[in-house]
Structures are given as structure tokens and as C-alpha cells.
Structure 1
Amino acid sequence: MYIVLGASESGAAGEFLWEAVTVADGRVGSRRTVPESKLGQFVHEVEDSNRPAPIRWVWADSRQIMPLFLAQGISPERSHDLRLIQRILSIATTHSQSHITFAPTLDLLQESPEKPWGMLPPARQIQGQDSLFDDGFLSASKPDTGQKTAPTASQLAVELQTQLRAIEAAPHPRRLKLLAAAESTGGMIAAEMKFHGMPWNKSLHEKLLVETLGPRPAPFERPAEMEKLATEIREKLATPKLNVDSPQELLRALQSAGIRVKSTSKWALKGWAEENPQLAQQRRSLIEPLLAYKKLARLFTANGWNWLDEWVQDDRFHPSYEVGGVVTGRWGAHGGGAMQIPRDVRTAVAAEPGKMLVVADASQVEPRILAAMSGDEKLALAGRGTDLYLGIAKIGEHTGSALNERAQAKIALLGAMYGATTGESGKLMPHLRTMFPQAIEFTERAARVGEQGGQVSTYLGRVSPAPSSEWFERQRRQATAEDERAAMAASRSWGRFTRNFVVQGTAAEWALCWMAQIRQKLRATTLFGKPLQSQLVYFLHDEIMIYGPEREASLCEQIVRDAAQAAGELLFGHISVEFPVTIAVTDNYSTAK
């Protein structure tokens, strides 16, 4: 049964009122009005009174309603996020072969520049930097007239019915239902991780900054260590007034000093230094201060004192995720650097006394997803009970193939999934195709679809976007040899995109199911008759972090391993592909890898 939560149509003055509307078998049923202050209690009581029958709560946007639930001490078990599913279905309708017909009844994808309905004002922001609570928290008051208003429960119920009809009419409704459930659970998990926060020792971070950069500088000034390096750079380049932070000025100064580079990137500078072995040492001494400055500047701007002030509250980093923010279904981040925590600052991710971090990294997910999707049993066998790349190398050794080293296997298989056809990957491709014909044909078929301007989908049904109108115009415009080359390059580029989309997108679906299984098991498991306190606090593509009491660590470790295999079975059924995970139980993130 679905229960839709939206604004009440009564519009009474005072406390904001919600309305709960049941939807079962496609029909709208009972209604109940609930004051906002009692909404969490209402959800908890309904879930308790309806066990074991599952309730799936429906709302417009997890980013808006989940902070309210969490502030009231509850988090629903299941949900259907209408915004997230509307995005999936809307893209699917652009693909004629998806056979999905969907016309949304509400526009839930339009991002408003105004603050979301029923929300508190955002936290203080530093100019030019995203704020920790830029989407605020639900308040207990109805928004003022003129602000964006909340969709009513009746409006949301109609949108739900429209979405469910589209899903049921899809060629693979079971898969699309699973994608809707997984994506919606991802929305809840993202909100939970933001609310609870990742352990982040502010004192350790500040100590690291002082040791590396020097004391905290005044506004608009550089830290002392950066200023020293800036002075050294000016001296070496004989440019006393150089603004080291200006790429244009810096490039001109480098070229004037005889450093012939086209950009100021680290790789361009290192390439210039190494291109002449006899002068390499002399050249390295010229660019070393600049490379050191760049490293300190990255720390200062990405994870310096301003970042610490804005994103770490009470020794917790509150990452702001965008579920499905990438077209493949991978997550993105709304500032704060949640999708990339540099190694330099990981020492600050430290457990409190009596607690531990359980850091799990899924091993070679995309190649294993390829084995599952393509049904290539030989590739599945290569990864059973061992490192998959090593397994490929052993098969190559036993069969007399030139593809008989782990490093080669990794290069070849990644090349197959990402479309690398030149260099060593291109040379090894014939051997890989001989060993795993089904897997390679699967990727090449996806590439051919893209090269012809077609769309592909993940295993559960997320559809890739169509090429742009400019792409199609380029294919039509082939009057000259240059036009033909441009058309061919664009065709191959889009083929590489679709080749990888099917695998990376399905790997993202596996990761969603993995986290959903972990979340479910953490909620259902007890220790000495008491619920676990451990929580999911971080996620990055194929890595998760659980934080909780040390006594629960071994239980969490087993939950993570079981959930990985369960996620594979949830997607593909009982197959021979394994989904192993590497787990580190530690008190500091810097030692996890």
C-alpha cells in the first residue's frame, strides 16, 4: 500500500498541515490530516500497526521532507520519491524502444531559486562557497504568500498513479519497480547521511592546516607557507609583481622564463621537465616551488578553514548529495566535496573513543556487472574467489594467451568498458575477445547503438540521454573530408559513452541496492536485544562507511558482505557472479586503504 504525504487542502492558519492519502490497487482511499509536529509520530504508528504488510510512503522530494522526519527522530522504512522517479521516466520516454509512455501531472524537476516550501532560512554562507544547509530544514510554519507552495496530497496522488501506470506498462516492469524503490531509498539514505554526518575531528583538521599552511591568515591573504612559495616562484621566474593565482599571468611568466608549456597544469609542467633527460634535474628545480604551491593552494581552497567553518558542525561533516546527479545514476554533490575526500585530510576522519569506522570497498564492480549483464560465464568464473584481473591473467596463462599478467588484464578490460582502442589496450583487445566473446560483444553492441545516435539502458531501465541536435547535424553535414572526420569523431565519442553507460549505470544500481540492503539490515539487526546504533555515514560510487560502537563492528562487517551478494541477487537473480568487498575496521579513515 502507498500512503501519499502532501500539503493539506484545508489551508488552516497556524501550524502547517499535512494530508496522508492511501493509494491501493491504483485507487485513492482514506485521507487523514496531520499537524507537522505530529507527522513523524504518525508515520511511526502507521508502520508499527501495519506490520508485516509493507507501507511505501510517497512524497514530492526526499530533500525536503526527510530532514523533518529525522529531526522528529524517525526515518520511514520505504518510500517512493516522485521527483527522482519522474526524472527517470521522463528520460525514458525519449527512447522509442523503451515503450514507456509518461506525461507528468506536476513539474517536480524544476529547481526554484527561491527557498523550498516550508523551510527555515539557510545557514550563514561564505561568499562564493556553497553552504552546508543551503536547502534548509522543514519548519513548523506555513510559507508566506508568494513563496513556492507545497503540492497537495491530492496532486501528488495523481502523479503517483501516473508514474505507476507507466512503470506497469514498461517492457520489464519488475526491473523498473526495483529501480524506483532503490532510487527512492537512495534519497532517504542521502538525507540520513547529511543529517547524522560523518565523524570529522575539527581539532585534528585545524592542526593539519597549521602544520602544512601556517597560522590561519586574515581574510583575502595567503597562508604563510603559500606566501613563501609565491615569493620563491616570483624570484625563479624573475617576475616580482606576478600574481601566482592568475593562470594567465602565470602562463606568460613561465613562457617568458623559457618554460614552454601551453597550460599551468601539473602534468604540463612535469611533461616539460622530463622531455629532456639531460636537463630534467635543472628543470625540476624550476617548477618544484610552483608544484608545491599548487598542492597547498588545493588544500587551502578545497578543505581549508573556510570549508571547515561551513561544513563541519560539532565534529561532523554533513555531506550534501544529489542522488542520480549524473546521467548514469551515479551520485553528485552540492558543494562540500563529498564525492572526493583528499588523502591529505583523511586523518581528520577519526572515530571517537569506543567507536569505529567500518570502511567497505566493493572490488571491481563494473567488470563483475559486465559479466552478469552479458551472461559471460567465463568472465564470471575469472572472478570467483579471487581478484578478477588476476583470474583473467591465470586463464590467459593456462590457455597460452598473451594476456597473462594482471596489469594487462586490467588495462584490457577497462579499455573494453571505456572504449580505449589504441595503445596497449587496443593490442590486447583481440586476446580479450577470444577469452570472453559474450562480454566483449555486449560492450561493442552498446557502442554501435551510440555511434548510430541511439539510446541504451541499464539493466533496471535507466535510459541514456539522446545525442544533441548539433550531434545529428554533424552527422548529416559531410560535404568535406574535414566534415567526415568530425562526424566520425563525434560518432565514436558517443559510442564510447553508450558503451560505458550500460555498465556504469547498472553498477550504480547495484550500489543503490547494496546500500538499501545495508540500511535494512542495520535497522533489523539487534545486539543483546537492542537495536544497532551504527549508521551509514558516507558513500562514494562503490565505497561506503559505517560509523558506530566498536562492539558492533564485526556485525556490521558481516552485514556489508551479505548485503553485497544480496544486491547482486536482487538485480540478476541467482547467478555465478560474486560481489566481494574489502573491509577495513579502523579508528581513522587514513588507514583504511
Structure 2
Amino acid sequence: MSSTARVHLSRLPGERVRVVDGDHTEVLDPAALPSYVAGREAHGDEPRWVWDDTARWYPALLEAGVRVARCHDLRLCHRLLRRAPAVDASLLDGEESALWDRLRPFEPSDPALFSVDDAGEHLRADLEDARQVAAVAASPEAVRLSLLVAAESAGALVAAEMTHAGVPWRVDVHDRLLTELLGSRPPRGARPRLLEELADEVRGLLDSPDLNPDSRPHLLAALRRAGVEVPDTRRSTLRRVDHPVVEPLVRYKQLAHLFSTSGWTWIDQWVRDGRFRPVYQPAGSATGRWSSNGGGALSFPVQVRSAAVADEGWVLVVADVAQLEPRVLAGMSGDQALARAARGADLYQGMVDDGAVPTRQDAKLGLLGAMYGATSGESGRMVAGLTRRYPAAFGLVEGAARSGERGEVVRTLLGRGCPALGGGSWDESPDAPPDDLDDQDRHRRAYGRFTRNFVVQGTAAEWASCWLADLRNRLWRLVDEGPLEARPHLVFFLHDEVVVHTPADLADRVADEIGASAAAAGALLFRELPVDFPLNTSIVRSYAEAGKPGAPPTVDA
């Protein structure tokens, strides 16, 4: 790991903070911590703050106007190193290690956190850090793992900063959209007027006056009484039916979903002070991808995206990577031919130009089929042909699948290990493997499909973490002074997309820095084989206009 000075922060009983800075140890009142951290940051050596969970420590510093350059998130990295195949996990054992094993992400909204396990509230950061440093240093993959834990920890800083800054959100625009689609805001527990009118229309067409259209069993029974035999009430299923109820019922389901997931209650819960503030969970999935503890499952609600509007004099710079995972596959496999096809904005068209396939659709089917395990149909046929053209890339995912089917774990480029076959967390259905041999074979094949995609999706998450870490610092350096919110800053991230809120006069420079950081992340991970990571970039006032060339960057006042 880096030789940067490491400053350890631990909580002590009685609302105190234990600071271990090299050979110096002192105890502070939490109220004094921001000034201590600010002074230490101003010292010039940019220390690495080592703490149990960034989500616990960093928000209070941000509220006090203090930004830190580096940290090491012990909870995230403990989980990562425990599972990393190139780490001797026994080196993580010692005092309090069992508590670290079961440490959950900090949730400010959960006052009961750690209440049943008070020891977990006062873990020694310096002891755990010493074990993690030793475990990484002893690994034959120490360089890659050092990069991974640094990027993972930087992602935790980004997550806290994005929640702190928030996405600029026009509640008046959101309310107007809801009112136009649903009617005015109803009393608690009632449906909006237009939604209730649709429900009445559905009841009348099904001759079912007491129907609750939100109840799947009741709706299925009413449909069958009306002669509509359907296995479920999905919109795609209903649209295949010829019956007058289909149109109002599908419309009802669409609007009911909007009301329940992005309605006025959503505004009350997730928008404060003109900012949408979701709760991000870095590395919340097994592959290292982020997840969300709320606020729309890591996405802007589609129907109300026009409410995401930059402040006056500011704009949103929205950028997403074209075909991220196929490009990552080219880089991590070292496949020269696929990397050559990836030079430019459209990898799939590059495969066509390379003579590998006749059409862009064939290229897409083949690559996605390889990464997700398609063995039949058109995708399966394309995989067979493309394997001969791109043997290193297709061989890598095939080898990962075979390893999974043998019950072996696989790893990403930087060393993240996948959950074990018997662990359950790799599957949405964490049941114990069945005893029947046929069922066991199916279970292993399913695990093989998981490991096939894990190596690529996990490495793509690593690339994205490096992208975020570098971009965060580039944005900070664009302005010489001022707090985070007064400078260009990240406000949103989703797998392969970032959104930056910036003063309009810096928008072009921000777009350049986003592209430069994407290139830097690629060079950092794939040193021996340059791979292009082209971006689709929009500079807009409203997020709803992103990706729409020529759309006016304005919103009604």
C-alpha cells in the first residue's frame, strides 16, 4: 500500500474520538474533529484517513466544510480482502476480527445499528489497518490489490460527497408533472383523482365494482371472470390480449407505478433543500457494482427526469461510456483483435469493419452471448464463430464459466474474488444446494453463468472506480478555492455514467476532464493493451435532455 501517512480514527465510549497519527495518539471531542482534520489536510502531505466506515465519518466533515483527499475504508476493504483469492485470509484474523467480519454498512436512518453489539461501535482502526496492510503486502498480487483498495475507498468518498451535494431538483417541476399525469396530491392512503378514475373504468369493463387493481390475485380473478385468461398481469402479457380493458389497465399500472415509486412521498423522503439525495452503497453487489439504499435504485425516475435541473448559471455535464463491458473484456483478456475493434466510438461496428461479422447486431449478440452464457439460438451460433476470431477474449469468459461449474471461485483483474458456490450471496435465490444430482448440476451451471459474467462486470466496476477517483480530484483542481458545492462536483453515478454539476463557463473543461479521466483509468488497468473508452457527453440544463442533440438546454421557470 501507499507510503502516505495514515491517520487512524476510532470511536471511544463516551462520544470521544481516538486519533492515532504515526507515533502520536490523542483523544478528541467529536466537535473538534473537523478542525483537526482540516488542519492536517492543510499540512500538505494529504494523509490517508483510516476509519471503519466512510459513511459514518465523512458526512459530518462535509457538513463542516471539510473535504479529505484520501481515505481507507476498513469495512469495505476487510470484506474485499476476506474474499480475495490472492490474500492469505488468516492474516486478517486477530483482536476484533470477528466483529469486522460482520460489520454492516452504516445507515444514518437506522438508530438501532450496533445497538445489540456495542463492541462493534468502538473498533480499533489502527489494529485492523495493520492487519490489512500486512495482508496486502504479503500477497503476490500486492500492486493490484493496493490499487483496488484505494479505488474502493475513493468511491466511498465520492458516494458521501454526492449525497452531501445532491442532485439539483426542481420540486415545482416534479409536482407539476405529477399533477398533470395523476391529478392533485391526494390525502394519505388515497389514490389521486385521475388514477382513481382509471381504476373505476377498469372495474366497469370487468364488471367487478369491488376490484382493487393493485391486488394481483384479485385482478387475475376478475380478468378470468371476464374471459381473459392470462398467467400474470405484466404489461407485456396484457398487451397480447384483445379486450377493451387492456388499454386503461395498462395505463393504470403505469401511473400507479409512478405514484408509488416517484410520487409525492418520494419527494418528501428524498428531496431536501432543492436537492435529490439518494443513499449510495459503494460495492453493494458481489461484483463491486454500486447499489442504493433508497432514492430510486441508482437511477433518476424516468417520468420525472425533467425535474433534475441545474442551478441558475450552472449546467449538468452527463457522460456515459459506450459498450463498457465489452471494452473491459478486450483489455483484461489482452485480445489484440478485439481491442483493435474497440478503437473508436462503436465497438460493434468495429467488429463489422474488422470482417468478424456481417452486421452490428450480430456483433452485439455474439459478445453479449459470450459474457452472459448464451448457448442456443442466434446468440449461441454467433458465439461459436466469434470464439475463433477473438480467442483470448472469448476464452477468458469461457474459462471463468468452466471454473464456476467446477465449484471454483474466480477473480477480477485487480483481485476481487467472487462469492463461493455454497455461500448463497452470488444468487438471488440463496437456498442451499439441492441433494438431487440433476439439481446439483443445474446449480453448478448457474454458478458458472455467474462466474462467467463476474470477471467482466467486476473488472468494469474496478475501471469505473478508478474513473471516479481520478475525476473527483480533477474536478476539485479546476477551481482554486471554495467548498465542494461551489466547484464542479459529481452528483450522480450509475455503473458507466456520471453527472457533474458545474458552473456553465467551466462546462467544456469539465467535459474534457471526464474524458481524460476515463482514458487514465483505462491506461491504469490495461497498461499492456491500450483500449479506447469513448464517451457520449451532453451539456444540458435538465437531465431529461441528455443524449438529445440539439435539444434546448432550458426549463420553464
Give the TM-score normalised by the residue count of structure 1.
0.85
For the residue of structure 1 that corresponds to 2:294, the secondary structure is: coil
Q: Match of 1:78, as an amino acid?
A: R
**Counterpart check, 1:63 vs 2:66:** no
Which residue of 1 is the match for residue 167 of structure 2? 198
* Match 1:508 to one of 461, 471, 476: 461
CA contact (8 A) 2:414 2:459 kept: yes
CA contact (8 A) 1:325 1:331 kept: yes
**Counterpart check, 1:374 vs 2:333:** yes
CA contact (8 A) 2:523 2:530 kept: no
Which residue of 2 is the match for residue 278 of structure 1? none
Q: Match of 2:54, as an amino acid?
A: S
Which residue of 2 is the match for residue 124 of structure 1? none
- 287 and 146 in structure 1: CA distance in 2 versus 1, 3 angstrom threshold: closer
- 105 and 558 in structure 1: CA distance in 2 versus 1, 3 angstrom threshold: farther
Structure 1 residue 150, shift from structure 2 partner: 7.2
For the residue of structure 1 that corresponds to 2:354, the secondary structure is: helix
**Counterpart check, 1:591 vs 2:545:** yes
Structure 1 residue 166, shift from structure 2 partner: 1.0
Which residue of 2 is the match for residue 7 of structure 1? 11
Structure 1 residue 170, shift from structure 2 partner: 1.7
Give distance in 2, aligned partners of 1:427 and 1:17.
Answer: 64
CA contact (8 A) 1:320 1:338 kept: no
Give distance in 1, aligned partners of 2:459 and 2:422.
Answer: 23
Give distance in 2, aligned partners of 1:104 and 1:326.
Answer: 27
Q: How does 1:263-412 map to 2 (within 5 A)?
A: 263-270=232-239, 272-273=240-241, 282-283=242-243, 285-396=244-355, 403-412=357-366
Give distance in 2, aligned partners of 1:507 and 1:580.
Answer: 14
Give distance in 2, aligned partners of 1:355 and 1:461.
Answer: 40
Q: How does 1:129-144 map to 2 (within 5 A)?
A: 134=109
Moved segments of 4+, more than 3 Å = 97-101, 108-113, 145-153, 469-477, 526-532
Percent identity, aligned pairs only? 40
Cα distance per residue 1:44-84 (max 9 Å; x no partner): 221222x3x44111001111101111111012100001111
Q: How does 1:179-578 map to 2 (within 5 A)?
A: 179-270=148-239, 272-273=240-241, 282-283=242-243, 285-396=244-355, 403-468=357-422, 477-478=436-437, 484=438, 486-526=439-479, 533-578=487-532
CA contact (8 A) 1:59 1:156 kept: yes
Give distance in 2, aligned partners of 1:557 and 1:213.
Answer: 37
Which residue of 2 is the match for residue 121 of structure 1? none
- 469 and 156 in structure 1: CA distance in 2 versus 1, 3 angstrom threshold: closer
Which residue of 2 is the match for residue 44 of structure 1? 38
For the residue of structure 2 that corresponds to 1:569, the secondary structure is: helix
- 487 and 338 in structure 1: CA distance in 2 versus 1, 3 angstrom threshold: closer
Structure 1 residue 286, shift from structure 2 partner: 2.9
Give distance in 2, aligned partners of 1:104 and 1:328.
Answer: 27
Structure 1 residue 98, shift from structure 2 partner: 5.2
Structure 1 residue 319, shift from structure 2 partner: 1.0
Structure 1 residue 35, shift from structure 2 partner: 2.8
- 553 and 112 in structure 1: CA distance in 2 versus 1, 3 angstrom threshold: closer
**Counterpart check, 1:33 vs 2:12:** no
Q: How does 1:40-119 map to 2 (within 5 A)?
A: 40-49=34-43, 51=44, 53-92=45-84, 95=85, 99-101=88-90, 102-103=92-93, 105-106=95-96, 107-108=99-100, 110=102
Cα distance per residue 1:421-460 (max 9 Å; x no partner): 1221012112211211111101100000011111001111
Q: Match of 1:46, as an amino acid?
A: R
Cα distance per residue 1:387-412 (max 9 Å; x no partner): 1011011112xxxx5x2111111111
CA contact (8 A) 1:361 1:542 kept: yes
Give distance in 1, aligned partners of 2:248 and 2:208.
Answer: 14
Give distance in 2, aligned partners of 1:305 and 1:151.
Answer: 36
Structure 1 residue 265, shift from structure 2 partner: 1.1
- 366 and 111 in structure 1: CA distance in 2 versus 1, 3 angstrom threshold: same
CA contact (8 A) 1:557 1:583 kept: yes
Q: Match of 2:286, as an amino acid?
A: V
For the residue of structure 2 that corresponds to 1:177, the secondary structure is: helix
Cα distance per residue 1:285-321 (max 9 Å; x no partner): 3311111001001110001001101111111001101
Give distance in 2, aligned partners of 1:196 and 1:170.
Answer: 38
For the residue of structure 2 that corresponds to 1:108, the secondary structure is: helix
Give distance in 2, aligned partners of 1:579 and 1:206.
Answer: 38
For the residue of structure 2 that corresponds to 1:502, the secondary structure is: helix
- For these two proteins, the number of residue pairs brought into alignment is 533
- 547 and 210 in structure 1: CA distance in 2 versus 1, 3 angstrom threshold: same
Give distance in 2, aligned partners of 1:99 and 1:75.
Answer: 34
Q: Match of 1:378, as an amino acid?
A: A
Structure 1 residue 38, shift from structure 2 partner: 2.4
For the residue of structure 2 that corresponds to 1:360, the secondary structure is: strand
**Counterpart check, 1:156 vs 2:125:** yes
Structure 1 residue 472, shift from structure 2 partner: 11
Give 5+ residue unaligned stretches, structure 2.
Answer: 425-429, 548-557
Give distance in 1, aligned partners of 2:129 and 2:482.
Answer: 38
- The two structures, once aligned, show a CA RMSD in angstroms of 2.6
CA contact (8 A) 1:60 1:151 kept: no
Give distance in 2, aligned partners of 1:519 and 1:564.
Answer: 12
Give distance in 1, aligned partners of 2:507 and 2:110.
Answer: 33
CA contact (8 A) 2:65 2:483 kept: no
- 340 and 393 in structure 1: CA distance in 2 versus 1, 3 angstrom threshold: same
Give distance in 1, aligned partners of 2:28 and 2:46.
Answer: 21
- 81 and 528 in structure 1: CA distance in 2 versus 1, 3 angstrom threshold: closer
CA contact (8 A) 1:377 1:576 kept: no
Give distance in 1, aligned partners of 2:284 and 2:21.
Answer: 30
For the residue of structure 1 that corresponds to 2:539, the secondary structure is: strand
- 529 and 206 in structure 1: CA distance in 2 versus 1, 3 angstrom threshold: closer
Structure 1 residue 473, shift from structure 2 partner: 7.9
Give distance in 1, aligned partners of 2:218 and 2:528.
Answer: 60
Structure 1 residue 352, shift from structure 2 partner: 1.9
Cα distance per residue 1:468-515 (max 9 Å; x no partner): 27999858643xxxxx3x333222211110000000001001111100
- 264 and 370 in structure 1: CA distance in 2 versus 1, 3 angstrom threshold: same
For the residue of structure 2 that corresponds to 1:359, the secondary structure is: strand
Give distance in 2, aligned partners of 1:408 and 1:420.
Answer: 13
